[in-house]
Amino acid sequence: MSELLPPPPAAAERQNRFVSDNLRRIFLQIYRIVGNIADAQDLTQEAFIKALQRQDQLKDEQKAANWLSRIATNTAIDFLRRHGRVAFCEMDVHTESEQHSPEELVLQSEHRNYLEDGLRLLTARERAALVLRDVEGCSAEEVARRLDCSKATVRSHIANARIKLRRYMARRKR
């Protein structure tokens, strides 16, 4: 019976560097699509495991980073397809920075709930398209590549997302 051998030191080091270099970026990318820290954590881990199991794809760092982003987007969208729309949940959040007063925390929480209610109106693909275009600044071509659809579909998702959010905010202002 063959024994499990650890990856060679150079490969292990490359893996660790790849994870460290991309972890925060991928976590944020997934969080923006799923809107939930616990799910974003699980899905980030899943995306990295999927990517690192294909070592041969990691030789070119730039290509590997793009490829990882694509895996992350697809993993998050698949998750939303399986679980319906974005599900925000309360979490014990331990902050690293300054402490807030109870009033500030209430206001922050209300503002967050307000934004989350608006984001709930978007479908998984609308949200993903909006994140990639308006938050990450990808071109429509790049978004289409990442979402594996046409540029026209991307434009439609982006327009729908902006319209839904604008209408939601207009309703709330009244």
Q: Which residues contact other proteins by CB under 8 A?
A: 1-2, 4, 15-16, 19-20, 23-24, 27-28, 31-32, 35, 37, 40-41, 44-46, 48-49, 52-53, 91, 93-97, 108, 112, 115, 118-119, 130-131, 133-135, 140, 155-156, 158-160, 162-163, 165-166, 169-170
Closest CA to 80 of 128, 41, 37: 128
Q: H helices within the chain, ranges in order? A: 9-34, 37-52, 61-83, 102-119, 124-130, 140-147, 151-173
**CB neighbours of 112 closer than 8 A, spacing ≥ 6?**
none
Q: Please tell me the distance from the alpha carbon of residue 162 to that of residue 84, in angstroms, as a whole number.
A: 20
Rounded to a whole number of angstroms, the distance between the first and last alpha carbons of the chain is 71
Question: Which of 78/159 has CB closer to other proteins?
Answer: 159
Alpha-carbon Rg for the chain, nearest whole angstrom, is 19
Q: Please tell me the distance from the alpha carbon of residue 140 to that of residue 156, in angstroms, as a whole number.
A: 11
**In the complex, what is the shortest distance from the CB of residue 63 to other proteins, in angstroms, rounded to a whole number?**
20
Question: Which of 19/74 has CB closer to other proteins?
Answer: 19
165 within 8 A of 126, measured Cβ to Cβ: no
**In the complex, what is the shortest distance from the CB of residue 33 to other proteins, in angstroms, rounded to a whole number?**
9
Question: Which of 66/156 has CB closer to other proteins?
Answer: 156
Question: Which of 106/163 has CB closer to other proteins?
Answer: 163
**In the complex, what is the shortest distance from the CB of residue 81 to other proteins, in angstroms, rounded to a whole number?**
20
Looking up tokens 């969208």 gives: 77
**In the complex, what is the shortest distance from the CB of residue 52 to other proteins, in angstroms, rounded to a whole number?**
6
**In the complex, what is the shortest distance from the CB of residue 47 to other proteins, in angstroms, rounded to a whole number?**
9
Question: Which of 83/112 has CB closer to other proteins?
Answer: 112
